[in-house]
């Protein structure tokens, strides 16, 4: 153990003799502890929200999604689809037609996101896990059915037990220019009827917008005629998503973009990362403000220990050695405070994971309490922040110590 650190430790545990300095040091320690704890907790909550978003969107989002690099849709042929199916690692290839349409049920209407899917959609998605009423069945024989989000069902008052009232879906005719002077405006729209048989609940973004229908229904209503808005792909268990994504992108070329799950939600995940960064900066600033007490504590300690400083200097201690004593003193205060804060933050996070002690405030079937996820890099960044802030708080008062000015105290 170095002499400066040993003396700093002795000073730390003897602060109780200097009551006012002791109080300031304890306040400094508690300030660092609370700031560190808040940093760990908030970053862990953001991690949990990020993981929750990935989990929620994975229910309906595929492992890989193929979209056109330019434009809204692209044409397909049977041979082209067969070639894509032969790419190594592709388990299921689902055709998708997705567009906005007007939904009318009884006397209520709203704009929905109509998603037409091919018959193997159930195999490549986890949508069946999200069903809260009915079943995910889009076709029985020649009869076609629809599955709606719970938000759509509640807004429209859709009843699964009512087999007589069908959902009406409207879409502007592509083959006809809309005429504002048309005597019967309905002639400007395609209209089809379909019976709802199921309701799913995943996340508000989906629940309040989405209606699933067979792809043939969507193709007819929207007049897509062998065009698709995307292809959704499930990857085989023995292959990684990155491997298949690279192979598909090479096969498709620059006219298409192959997205993994995170890339499909890139905007939302990026927004969370930006919010997390600014929260980290804000809490680090709060931690810095709390650490100003360390500056005052060390300044008062230097005044209190002028006689000790003079004795050490007379005995041959270098100026740098004496200054390191007070730097180590600040490090001890911060280290104990940071350890206390991290331990408390870790304990609260573990309790939240196990018991959900802090609810989100809104009841959902997905999650009732704030999700938290502990990551080592958050603890490392928190520790690094404390170290930097401690040095910034401890070095200035230590540099102001001039042993040559305190010989009079001998």
Q: Is 319 left (phi over 0), alpha (psi -120 to 50) or beta?
A: alpha
Q: For residue 341, what pLDDT band results from cuts at 50, 70 and 90?
A: very high
pLDDT recorded at residue 330: 84
Q: Is the pLDDT of residue 403 over 70?
A: no
Q: For residue 210, what pLDDT band results from cuts at 50, 70 and 90?
A: very high
Q: For residue 163, what pLDDT band results from cuts at 50, 70 and 90?
A: confident
Of the two residues 403 and 98, the one the predictor is more confident about is: 98
Lowest pLDDT segment from 52-56, 159-163, 253-257, 373-377: 52-56
Of the two residues 317 and 259, the one the predictor is more confident about is: 259
| Segment 17-44, tens digit of pLDDT | 556 667 777 888 888 899 999 999 999 9
Q: Is the pLDDT of residue 15 over 60?
A: no
Beta strands in 236-271 (DSSP E): 256-260
Task: Kindly state the DSSP code that residue 359 receives in the 8-state scheme.
Answer: B
Q: Buried b / exposed e across 192-206, counting CB within 10 Å, b at 16+?
A: bebebbbbbbbbebb
Task: Kindly state the DSSP code that residue 66 receives in the 8-state scheme.
Answer: E
Crossing angle of helices 376-399/292-304, nearest 10°? Answer: 40
Q: Buried b / exposed e across 93-122, counting CB within 10 Å, b at 16+?
A: bbbbbbbebbbbbeeeeeebbbbbbbeebe
In sequence order, what are the beta bridge partners of 96? Answer: 117, 230
pLDDT recorded at residue 361: 62
Burial (CB count within 10 angstroms: exposed 0-12, middle 13-18, buried 19+), residue 267: exposed
Beta strands in 236-334 (DSSP E): 256-260
Average pLDDT over residues 2-27: 68
| Segment 230-252, tens digit of pLDDT | 999 999 999 999 999 999 999 99
pLDDT recorded at residue 155: 94
Tell me how far apart the alpha carbons of residues 205 and 289 are, in angstroms, rounded to a whole number: 40
Of the two residues 385 and 59, the one the predictor is more confident about is: 385
Q: Is the pLDDT of residue 206 over 60?
A: yes
Count the alpha carbons within 13 Å of 209 in the hemisphere toward its beta carbon.
9
pLDDT recorded at residue 96: 97
pLDDT recorded at residue 247: 96
Tell me how far apart the alpha carbons of residues 247 and 53 are, in angstroms, rounded to a whole number: 27
Mean pLDDT, all residues of the chain: 86
pLDDT recorded at residue 394: 82
Q: Is the pLDDT of residue 362 over 80?
A: no
Q: For residue 97, what pLDDT band results from cuts at 50, 70 and 90?
A: very high
| Segment 102-131, tens digit of pLDDT | 999 998 999 999 999 999 999 888 888 899
Average pLDDT over residues 1-21: 65
Q: Buried b / exposed e across 131-149, counting CB within 10 Å, b at 16+?
A: eeebebebeeeeebbbbbb
Highest mean pLDDT among 208-222, 290-304, 343-357, 381-395 belongs to: 208-222
Q: For residue 382, what pLDDT band results from cuts at 50, 70 and 90?
A: confident
Q: Write down the residue that tokens 């388990």 correspond to.
A: 91
Average pLDDT over residues 320-328: 78
Average pLDDT over residues 175-201: 78
CB 165 within 8 A of CB 159: yes
pLDDT recorded at residue 233: 96
pLDDT recorded at residue 405: 63
Q: Is the pLDDT of residue 179 over 80?
A: no
Average pLDDT over residues 325-345: 87
Q: Is the pLDDT of residue 61 over 80?
A: yes
Q: Is the pLDDT of residue 184 over 70?
A: no
Q: For residue 180, what pLDDT band results from cuts at 50, 70 and 90?
A: low
How much is the pTM? Answer: 0.77
Residues of the chain with pLDDT > 70: what percent? 87
Q: Which residues contact 264 (CB under 8 A, 6 or more apart)?
A: 57, 61, 65
Average pLDDT over residues 337-354: 92
């Amino acid at each position: 153990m170095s002499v400066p650190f040993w003396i700093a430790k002795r000073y730390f545990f003897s602060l109780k003799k200097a009551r006012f300095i002791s109080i300031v040091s304890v306040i400094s320690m508690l300030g660092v502890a609370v700031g560190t704890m808040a940093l760990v907790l908030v970053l862990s909550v953001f991690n949990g929200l990020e993981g929750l978003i990935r989990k929620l969107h994975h229910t309906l989002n595929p492992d890989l999604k193929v979209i056109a690099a330019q434009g809204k849709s692209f044409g397909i042929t049977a041979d082209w689809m067969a070639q894509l199916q032969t790419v190594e690692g592709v388990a299921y290839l689902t055709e998708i037609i997705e567009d906005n349409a007007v939904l009318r049920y009884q006397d209520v209407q709203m704009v929905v996101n109509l998603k037409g899917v091919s018959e193997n959609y159930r195999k490549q998605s986890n949508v069946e896990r999200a069903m809260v009423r009915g079943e995910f069945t889009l076709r029985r024989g020649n009869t076609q059915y629809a599955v709606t989000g719970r938000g759509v069902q509640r807004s429209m008052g859709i009843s699964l037990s009512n087999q007589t009232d069908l959902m009406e879906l409207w879409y502007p005719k592509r083959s006809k220019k809309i005429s504002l002077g048309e005597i019967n405006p309905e002639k400007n729209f395609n209209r089809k009827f379909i019976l709802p048989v199921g309701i799913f609940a995943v996340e508000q973004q989906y629940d309040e917008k989405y209606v699933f229908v067979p792809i043939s229904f969507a193709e007819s209503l929207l007049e897509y005629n062998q065009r698709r808005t995307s292809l959704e792909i499930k990857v085989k268990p023995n292959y990684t998503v990155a491997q298949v994504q690279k192979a598909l992108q090479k096969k498709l070329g620059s006219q298409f973009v192959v997205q993994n799950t995170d890339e499909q939600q890139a905007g939302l995940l990026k927004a969370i990362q930006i919010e997390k960064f600014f929260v980290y900066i804000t809490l680090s600033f709060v931690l810095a403000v709390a650490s100003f007490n360390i500056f005052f504590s060390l300044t008062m300690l230097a005044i209190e220990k002028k006689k000790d400083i003079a004795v050490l200097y007379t005995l041959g201690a270098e100026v740098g050695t004496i200054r390191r004593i007070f730097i180590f003193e600040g490090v001890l205060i911060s280290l104990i405070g940071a350890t206390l804060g991290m331990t408390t933050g870790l304990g609260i996070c573990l309790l939240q994971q196990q018991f959900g002690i802090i609810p989100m405030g809104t009841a959902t079937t997905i999650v009732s309490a704030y999700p938290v996820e502990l990551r080592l890099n958050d603890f490392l960044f928190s520790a690094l922040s404390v170290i930097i802030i401690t040095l910034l708080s401890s070095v200035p008062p230590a540099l102001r110590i001039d042993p040559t000015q305190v010989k009079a105290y001998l």
